[in-house]
Amino acid sequence: MKLLVTGAAGGIGTRLRQMLPSIYKDIRWSDIRKPDDLVAGAEFVAADLADMAQVEKMVAGIDGIVHLGGFSIEGPWETILQANIIGCYNLFEAAYRANVKRVIFATSNHAVGMYPRDQKIGVNVTVRPDSRYGISKCFGEAVGAMYADKHGLRVTCLRIGNFADTPIDQRRLSIFLHPEDLVQLIRIGLEHPEIKYEIFYGASDNAAAWWDNSNAHKFGYRPKHKAENFRAEAMAAQAKLPPDPVGDYFQGGSFSSAEYDADKRRS
């Protein structure tokens, strides 16, 4: 398999540059600019996702894509529009034109961030984004579904929680995703023969999970890491954080509370 990983300079992309080459021997890395720490000899193609010609060059000759690229936090609408909406459409359309077989789309927990924390949800709930960033991830999931259903592209959407080696507060005890578990999810999306269009939650084995990840387990996902092993440290760090009544109620945390004025308007 000739693999393309976009967003190679980002936090997750940087970690995957250390982990994936031992599994996949032929990887092309891409970002809007070349990472300073790219390993000598690694194949790299610079591309602005909002430019279709550059995206077409990036995907040429590729079999599978791990799409991490885009703007990874909340931001102004124009920024989100160019990088995460136009850029995401370009990625799927170029992949279709180039006869790419599989795409892993890095969606986010922020696509469902306005669900309350006391409600456990699966992958078939109505999306309830907590931000413009979250909206862009809902869009990406929908685009992936269309290319899977109409054109046969095999698409796996990973609603990533918090990618880290350890959870660092109470919220992250519920959404922690260890890098090794992310790699396992990526391998399922790229290799499992029954994948057509699926949504998985990007989460490790978290006792406090808000998400039902049985769909991923159905395809063989067996996370190795547990957030609960770090509960004492996470709760000690939580005690030092200021209260956020809105963010502490919704799954999206600070993304949910930012710009929130629903209660004021209702009153």
Distance between CA atoms of 146 and 125, rounded to whole angstroms?
Answer: 18
* 49-77 per-position pLDDT tens digit: 999 999 999 999 999 999 999 999 999 99
Rounded Cα distance, 155 and 143, in Å: 10
Give the Cα separation of 209 and 11 in Å (integer).
Answer: 23
Give me the helix-helix angle, 179-191 and 11-19, nearest 10°.
70
State mean pLDDT over 131-143.
Answer: 98
Given a cut of 90, whether residue 7 has pLDDT beyond it is yes
CB-based contacts of 215, cutoff 8 Å, min separation 6: 122, 123, 198, 199, 200
pLDDT over threshold 70, residue 266: no
Asked if residues 69 and 31 have their Cβ atoms less than 8 Å apart, the reply is: yes
Buried b (16+ CB within 10 A) or exposed e, 35-49: beebeeeeebbebbb
Q: Give the residue-averaged pLDDT of 199-216.
A: 98
- Tell me the C-alpha to C-alpha distance, in Å, between residue 58 and each of 1, 20, 65, 267: 16, 19, 10, 51
Domain assignments of the chain as residue spans, ordered by start: 3-266
What pLDDT sits at residue 263?
82
Of 115, 133, 147, 201, the catalytic one is 133
* Mean pLDDT calculated for residue range 108-131: 98
* Residue 241 near residue 171, CB atoms below 8 Å: no
Whether pLDDT at 242 is above 80: yes
What mean pLDDT do residues 83-93 have? 98
Active site residue 133: yes
Rounded distance between C-alpha atoms, residue 87 and residue 69, angstroms? 9
* 146-185 residue pLDDT tens: 999 999 999 999 999 999 999 999 999 999 999 999 999 9
3-state secondary structure of 92: helix
The model's pTM: 0.96
* pLDDT, average across residues 239-259: 96
- Mean pLDDT rounded to a whole number for the chain: 97
Pick the CATH number of 3-266 from 3.40.50.720, 3.90.470.20, 3.40.50.620, 1.10.238.10: 3.40.50.720
So what's the pLDDT on residue 216? 98
